[in-house]
A and B are shown apart, each in its own frame.
Chain A
Amino acid sequence: MIAKQIIKITLNLTVICFFAGTILGLVNMGTQHAKEENQHKREVLTSMSLLGYGAGNPAPADLKMDKISRYLLAVDGAPALGYVIPAGQGQELIILSVEGGKLLSIPAPQMENPEINQHLSQEMRRQVSELTHVEDYRIALLDGKVQGYLITGNNLGFKANIKMMVALNSDFSVRGIAILESEEDPGLGDEAKEPYFRNQFAGKSAAQLARISISKNPQPEEYRSLLESQPEGHFTAEEMENLRAVYGDSPIYSITGSTISSTAVMVGVQKAVGRFVYRLQQVNAALTAPSSSAPAPEAREGEGEGV
């Protein structure tokens, strides 16, 4: 009798779960592509908006977006860092030791994230293994001059991860931030998307950003109206200067009732910017310094095979 009950209940639940799983799997399959496309579109829109371009001020046609991709990998079994950077017409994979010393550099003309392994030559593949793509940094260039950097940050919010995008000026001061994905509560942590919160970061220099703290005091009225005067964060250069001079060292005023979410966003931005600046300096230092172990010439020649 008991065995019969167990079987009946198990069957009942199994059938329901099977159908639920099938439905969800099919829906996911059907929507995956469109969803990713939307996410990509949104990221592009957000990046353009953060750089100050929008409906009223379209991006110039010769605005170029370069990409630096960061990888984790192993060289001869030891962990190392890899950066795919634009070099001339193509790209280059430079490999740094954990301490920042340059180990190798490999031309990687068409290296795209998922297939990176295939574009490495046989020789390289013997040394380099466990390539894992971590993130992309984007650089906006106009006539060869850096207009800004776009980086993404992640931090645990009240419930789930908050994914944010930070735009930096060429001097690494913050141009603006945007929340890309979050599951904060509406009316509370979700207010981080509102201009009065997110525009607080605009204008802060990297040094100011690194030492700011969170404040639970109410935001001064004139500061708030200044932040809300540009809902998209498209401040002019003078307004940015003004923001930095007057409010650069003011704390981030937290959202009422959502100190955890506010802190999460602030720390996420701080971490993202701090790490990016540090890594970019490392890469720049490696590019100017001579390679500690020059890549073997045959490795360079064999590179083309995998492409």
Chain B
Amino acid sequence: MPVFQLIIRGLLAENPVFRLALSMCPAVAVTTNIKNGFLLGCAVVFVQVMSNITASVLRKFIHPRVRVVIYTIIIATWVSTIDMIMSAYLPDLYDQVSLYIKLIVVFAIIISRMELFASKNPVTPSLFDGLGMGLGFMFGLMMIGAVRELLGSGQLLGFDILGVKPLLIMILPAGGFFVIGFLMSVFNIILKKLGMGAPPAGGHH
């Protein structure tokens, strides 16, 4: 499969948030504005790509009985490495993203793509699968963040747009569920119109 198709697949047909419904917890908790969604998305892209590459490189070595343990170690190693390097050499950026990075260790989407895709495919497709899934996740979070920020705080990217806060509940956790449900249905209606059926559970193998 050509690489750009792998990326498009992660963004649309198998979007982790709207189509695969994976890692919904951060999708509710973090997305009170666009910026949060973007920063968490960046961190996920990086960890997903690196973990996919590692799992793909080691796929012949990893014992199938303990693969989940090993995937967890790989993710945790990458997350800790990035955490340490950023805190040492990019302190200003680290202040912004450190909270998001630490959350990633337990994201379902990352281990799911390692298990379903990277463990069976060579390095290059695994890299682009990770990139596509990461970007899809970022896209989903930013969409949710935009709706919640606009309706909950009357702002977009921190700039005052409406001047009032029409629906305060949108920045509360409950609002996250409403927005995700609403956007998920819209997304699926559009893709259905485009003739795309439901993806297999967890995304393509």
Other-chain residue from B29, B61, B73, B85 in contact with A17 (beta carbon distance below 8 A):
B73
| Chain A interfacial residues counted at CB < 8 A | 30
Size of the B side of the interface (Cβ < 8 Å), in residues, is: 33
Query: Is A42 close to B, CB under 8 A?
Result: yes
Could you tell me the distance in whole angstroms from the C-beta of B51 to the nearest C-beta in chain A?
Answer: 12
CB distance from B49 to the nearest CB of A (A): 17
Say whether A184 contacts B81, CB under 8 Å. no
B66 touches A13 (CB 8 A): yes
Residues of A contacting B: mostly: helix
With contacts A13-B70, A185-B99, A186-B30 taken as known, whether A38 is within 8 angstroms of B88 at the C-beta atoms is yes
Contacts of A190 in B (CB 8 A): 99
Enumerate B73-115 residues with CB–CB distance to A below 8 Å: 73-74, 76-77, 80-81, 84-85, 87-89, 91, 99-100, 102
In the complex, chain A residues whose CB is within 8 Å of the CB of B32: 187
Write out, one digit per residue, whether chain B residues 36-54 have a CB within 8 A of any chain A CB (1) or not (0): 1000100000000000000
B90 to chain A: closest residue by CB: A38
Determine the chain B residues whose CB is within 8 A of the CB of A34 once the complex forms. Answer: 88-89
Residues of B within 8 A of A28 (CB): 84
B1 interface residue, CB < 8 Å from A?
no
Q: Within residues 24 to 76 of chain A, which ones have a CB less than 8 A from any CB in chain B? A: 24, 27-28, 30-35, 38, 41-42
- Determine if B62 is an interface residue (Cβ-Cβ < 8 Å): yes
Cα separation A156 to B31 with both chains bound (whole Å): 25
How far apart are the CA atoms of A6 and B36 in the complex, in Å?
Answer: 45
The 27 listed contacts between A and B (C-beta, < 8 Å) are A8-B63, A9-B65, A12-B62, A13-B69, A13-B70, A16-B58, A16-B62, A16-B73, A17-B73, A20-B77, A23-B77, A27-B84, A31-B84, A31-B85, A31-B88, A32-B88, A34-B88, A35-B84, A35-B88, A183-B99, A185-B30, A186-B29, A186-B100, A187-B31, A256-B171, A257-B172, A257-B173
B-side residues, CB < 8 A to A, are: 29-33, 36, 40, 58, 61-63, 65-66, 69-70, 73-74, 76-77, 80-81, 84-85, 87-89, 91, 99-100, 102, 171-173
Per CB-CB distance, the 3 closest pairs between chain A and chain B, nearest first, are: A31-B88, A34-B88, A187-B32
